[in-house]
Structure 1
């Protein structure tokens, strides 16, 4: 990571728990959400993920969100969501969340997860 800030979307530092299910795996893992934006999140926990893995994340007051792993470093990892969320909803207590009054976010193509690589594009080791 460099000292230059390259992000175009603000994110909130927070401490939440989320449930994550990795593609083609029935096991649900509990992870800590360290920061959250409308386009993605940083998670931390004892879960083995690789860049490009598809995930389904259950976030408080938001529900199930799909995305893919953008980076991994030790026990922390970044997730790029497929669709933008209202990240402020996750900060509210569960009793305050009302899906009928929640404003809908506009899609931003700047935070799209990269496409899943094809077997032909992978380097053989």
Structure 2
């Protein structure tokens, strides 16, 4: 794709944090960046990182892991990253963990909120 073609690619606008590794001179430096938008082929990041166009990087995205890419452009604290392989951006939006894990244990809930363990119709009236 040319630069003009990539401007028409569907992007997800979002705000999340990711880790970025800059590979330079045989060493890697890790930074935390803000992901401003994301598509299957790349993303826009924001952070005070000294990157230049064409620099090899890796970024860790939630639910996907580390993705390799190169810096496509830079303007102030924002820069574009072109991934070496396409991803499914909708996977990044899925919350980490299961909502059932967020439910309080039964013994900490009030009796009104607790689920009945016995069928009330089978209880003996006193």
Q: Please give the TM-score of this superposition, normalised by the length of structure 2.
A: 0.69
Q: Which runs of 4+ in 1 moved over 4 A?
A: none
What residue is the counterpart of 1:52 in the other structure?
A: 54
What residue is the counterpart of 2:110 in the other structure?
A: none
Specify whether residues 6 and 84 from structure 1 end up closer, same or farther in structure 2 by C-alpha distance, changes over 3 A only: closer
Mark the runs of 5 or more structure 1 residues left unpaired by the alignment: 97-125
- The counterpart of 1:74, out of the listed 51, 76, 79, is 76
Larger Rg: 2
CA distance in 1, matches of 2:48, 2:61: 18
Q: Please give the TM-score of this superposition, normalised by the length of structure 1.
A: 0.70
Q: Which has the higher helix share?
A: 2
What is the count of residue pairs matched by the alignment? 93
What do residues 14-65 of structure 1 show as CA deviations (whole Å, max 9, x unaligned)?
Answer: 0010100111333210000000000000000011100000001000001010
What residue is the counterpart of 1:27 in the other structure?
A: 29
1:1-125 mapped onto 2 (5 Å cutoff): 7-24=7-24, 25-95=27-97
CA distance in 1, matches of 2:6, 2:19: 28
Q: Root-mean-square deviation (CA), in Å?
A: 1.7
Mark the runs of 5 or more structure 2 residues left unpaired by the alignment: 99-126
